[in-house]
Amino acid sequence: MGWNFRRSLNLGGGFRLNLSKRGIGASGGIRGFRIGLGPRGKRLQISVPGTGIYYRKDEGWQQQVPGSGVSVFRIAILLAAMAAAVVWVLGVSR
C-alpha cells in the first residue's frame, strides 16, 4: 500500500472542496443529504442523521444514454440552486 493524500476544505454553507491524489472534487448539501462530484464520478448520499443509516449511489463518468438518469448539468444546476438558497437564507437571517 502506497502513500495517499486527502484534504477537505469547508467553504461554508454546506459546501466542501475535496483534494486528493486522484484529483479535485466538490460536494454540497445539508445534514442528511449530500451530492458530490469528483474525478471518479458522481455520488448521492441520503442519511438519517445520528443513526448510521444511509443510502449511497455512486456513478462513474461513463457516457449515458440521453434521458437515462441525472446528468452532470442537472447536478451542477442543483448545487448552484442550493448555494443560492443558503446564501439567501444567511442574508435574510442577519
> Phi, psi (5° rounding) for residue 31?
-60, 120
Q: Is residue 54 part of a domain?
A: yes
pLDDT per position as a tens digit, 8-22: 888 888 888 888 888
Core vs surface per residue 78-89: b (16+ CB within 10 A) or e: ebeebbeebeee
Q: Is residue 36 part of a domain?
A: yes
Q: In the prediction, which pLDDT does 72 show?
A: 64
Length reported for the chain: 94
- Domain range spanning residue 49? 6-93
Q: In the prediction, which pLDDT does 67 show?
A: 56
* Domain total of the chain: 1
Name residues of the chain where pLDDT drops below 50. none
Three-state DSSP class for residue 86: helix
* pTM metric for this prediction: 0.54
Q: In the prediction, which pLDDT does 8 show?
A: 87
Q: In the prediction, which pLDDT does 73 show?
A: 62
The C-alpha cell of 53 is what?
443509516
The C-alpha cell of 36 is what?
458530490
Q: Is residue 1 part of a domain?
A: no
